[in-house]
Amino acid sequence: MLSNLSIKNYALIDALEVSFHTGFTVITGETGAGKSILLGGLALVLGKRADLGSLRDKERKCIVEAAFKITKYRLRPFFEQNDLDYEDETILRREIHPSGKSRAFINDSPVTLSILSALGERLIDVHSQHQTLRLTENEFQLKVIDALADNKQNLQAYGTELKAFRDTEKRLQQLIATQKEANKEKDYDSFLLQELETAALSEGMQEALESEQQKLSNVETILEYFANGYQLLSDDQLGIMSAVTQLTQLSGKLADFGEKYENLHQRIQSVHIEMEDIASEWESLKDTTEADPERLEQLNGQLQLLYDLLRKHDVQNVNDLLSVQEALSQKVGDTANLEVEIAEKEALLAAQKETLEAKASIISQKRTRAIPILDKELSEVLSSLGMPSATFKMELTPAANFKETGKDDLAFLFSANKGVGYGELKKVASGGELSRIMLTIKAVLARYEQLPTMMFDEIDTGVSGEISNKMGDIMKAMSNHMQVFSITHLPQVASKGDAHFKVFKEEIGETTHTKLKQLQQEERVSELAEMLGGKVLTDSAMAHARQLLD
């Protein structure tokens, strides 16, 4: 409930602070006295967009604070989700600076305007002409039926399942889109992969092929070099091997004359052995080197394919080509895996849909049972509000798709008079009728769920006499379950209040101020008498006012 409201430097309000209590509070005042200013200040602290023009003194900031006792609203999860300190008496504060900057606080913690607004909606419901139009929206109509049907937990379970269903549906659509795109490239990717696999790529392959190709391309020159070298090595007269053999023999004879000669002889022997090995390998290479035109042609083909692949994929070496091949293999494999994942998601979606259907069916069944109860209660109350022939026609039909509210389409039709066909509320009900219907619905809701503080802004406009008296009774009855405010021009409604505040203007010097005052018993009598008969307080008006209060 709203326990305290403080407004500073807003419109015609310089400074205002007022405390409120439980029950039914009425607010009265002449037209133009500033009731809308009071509501405007309250709207700011509930998250409405700020307007610099609302600052009374353009050099000072505007501050609006509202304290709420929130123990019974079960709002701890909201505070935890938004990382806020929970207090049984929570203070919402809004500051509008002359620079245009706006700041919002909950229990002195800075918050965004959206968080302030979200909490404000849970704490106070300001009923205005705009809010009355919500009555014509299917979502609000279903909310009313669900309150009577006790569908809160069923809707929560349904909502959790719906989110999972939509997540799966979204993922399935993404997979199908990916598969569609992948299928466009699949054939070409498979061709590229096969081309690379046919090339039988391996690390170091290019260097090996180029080396062998270079040898076979120059085989005649190589054989000529081998022949010349072989002659140098093996010629009987001038060959290297003949000379080294003779040198070895001479050094062997010198070895007998000392250690130094022996060492030299051993070194020459080592050279002799090495030269014999070189000569043997030289001869072997010479004998195994031969022209091979077929192999050369094969090598040229392999290298040409390799060079073509390097250019085609715009890479520098075989290792890069191997990376391309791995990526293509993964891509082609992923395309095949998509089919498996799509099948899995389709099966999951079908199971989730079956669960959703079952949960939606429970919600629909409970709604169907609640509709006659709501119809009866609304008709009875509206009859007492001067609409004795008002009837409703509420019908549920299965919706084509799952909605946030279940799987129902609701026809919420209304007829104000006998013999007149049913039609949509927004088309057949007048503004006054809509206001009375909304008051009736809020009264019904108050008995079935915990509603926030309710503030009715001239909901009784256009009615008088016994009907206004009954509207006051309804709001008074609602206040047994919740805190209710009514801004009213009707003395019959104002007399029902547990507390009565008056909004008025006061001129101080050259400036006008909007004030709010709680009226005591005799002051209430005078205010009601003025509402009944005008500024001149007659004895009959005063007597009528006392009668209303009694």
Q: Residue 152: how many CB atoms within 10 A of its CB? A: 11
pLDDT at 499: 96
3 and 90 belong to one structural domain: yes
Model pLDDT for residues 8-45, shown as the tens digit of each residue: 999 888 899 999 999 999 999 887 777 888 888 899 99
Query: What does the alpha-carbon distance between residue 208 and residue 140 come to, in Å, rounded to a whole number?
Result: 79
Q: Do residues 233 and 323 share a domain?
A: yes
Q: Residue with structure tokens 């798709």?
A: 401
Same domain, 321 and 197: yes
Out of 304, 337, 370, a domain closes at 337
Asked whether residue 111 falls in the same domain as residue 208, the answer is: no
Are both 2 and 120 inside the same structural domain? yes
Cα of 541 vs its chain's centroid, Å: 59
Q: Do the domain assignments include residue 117?
A: yes
The confidence score (pLDDT) of residue 337 equals: 77
Q: For the whole model, what pTM was predicted?
A: 0.67
Based on the domain organization, do 332 and 183 belong to the same domain?
A: yes
Tell me the two tokens of residue 338: 């998509």
CATH code for the domain in which residue 484 is found: 3.40.50.300
Query: What contacts 36, CB < 8 A, 6 or more positions away?
Result: none
**Domain shared by 123 and 189, yes or no:** no
In this prediction, residue 133 carries a pLDDT of 66
Query: 360 with 402: CB under 8 angstroms?
Result: yes
| pLDDT less than 50: residues of the chain | none
Tally the domains of the chain.
2
DSSP designation for 34 = S
- 283 and 196 in a single domain? The answer is yes
The domain of 324 spans 178-337
Burial class of residue 158, CB neighbours in 10 A (0-12, 13-18, 19+): buried
318 in the same domain as 206 = yes
* Residues 338/179, Cβ–Cβ less than 8 Å: yes
Same domain, 110 and 192: no
CB atoms within 10 A of CB 141: 21
Distance CA 343, CA 195 (A): 31
Query: In this structure, is residue 261 part of a structural domain?
Result: yes
For residue 313, tell me if it sits in a domain.
Answer: yes
Q: What is the DSSP-derived secondary structure letter of residue 48?
A: P
Tell me whether residue 119 is exposed, middle or buried, using C-beta atoms within 10 angstroms of its C-beta: 0 to 12, 13 to 18, 19 or more: buried
Contacts of residue 291, defined as CB under 8 A and 6 or more positions apart, other chains included, come to: 216, 219, 220
SS (H, E, C) 335-360: HHHHHHHHHHHHHHHHHHHHHHHHHH
Alpha-carbon dihedral 406, 411, 414, 420, rounded to 10 degrees: -170
Of 477, 462, 475, nearest in space to 429 by CA: 462
Give the separation between CA 232 and CA 239, rounded to whole angstroms.
5
The answer on 294 and 187 residing in a single domain is: yes
pLDDT confidence of residue 61: 92
Give the residue from 484, 405, 480 showing the smallest Cα distance to 439: 484
Last residue of a domain, one of 337, 355, 386: 337
Look at residue 333 and tell me if it is in a domain.
yes
What is the reported pLDDT for 132?
A: 67
Sign of torsion, CA 515 520 522 528?
positive
- Give yes or no: residues 218 and 308 share one domain: yes
Classify residue 372: in a domain, yes or no.
no
